Amino acid sequence: MNYVKIADINEIPIGSKKKIETAMGTILVVNIRGDFYALDNKCPHMGGSLGDGMLEGNHIICPKHGATFDVTTGKNVQGAKIAFIKANVKDARSYPLKVEGNEILIGIE
């Protein structure tokens, strides 16, 4: 797997998130207690921007219909809700990251 730089660690303080445009599309990078994680920014339910959602601990909540994902794994932990109808949602795609010095690198295939 090849790794390419997508950000510097000082761009994403602990407890924050950042949307980053890459050749693979928009990626959401999150800093949880000094560890960095990356997901597709696009919610697998109906395409809402996860980066515009609320970050609560290690969960990101899609602002469109409330689907919730564990940013450390991409796993869906709560389905979406439209009015009174609940919908199952697939997991968000996650990407491998590593830090070298002050650089955040994303794994690409």
pLDDT at 35: 97
pLDDT, one tens digit per residue, over 61-107 is 999 888 999 999 999 998 878 777 787 889 999 999 999 999 999 99
- Domains of the chain by range and CATH? 2-108 (2.102.10.10)
Question: Distance between CA atoms of 2 and 43, rounded to whole angstroms?
Answer: 25
pLDDT at 9: 97
* Alpha-carbon distances, residue 80 vs 15, 83, 87, 103 (angstroms): 24, 10, 5, 34
Question: Distance between CA atoms of 87 and 95, rounded to whole angstroms?
Answer: 25
pLDDT, one tens digit per residue, over 19-64 is 999 988 999 999 999 999 999 999 998 888 999 999 999 999 999 8
Contacts of 49 (CB under 8 A, 6+ apart): 19, 26, 41, 42, 43, 62, 63
pLDDT at 31: 97
pLDDT at 88: 83
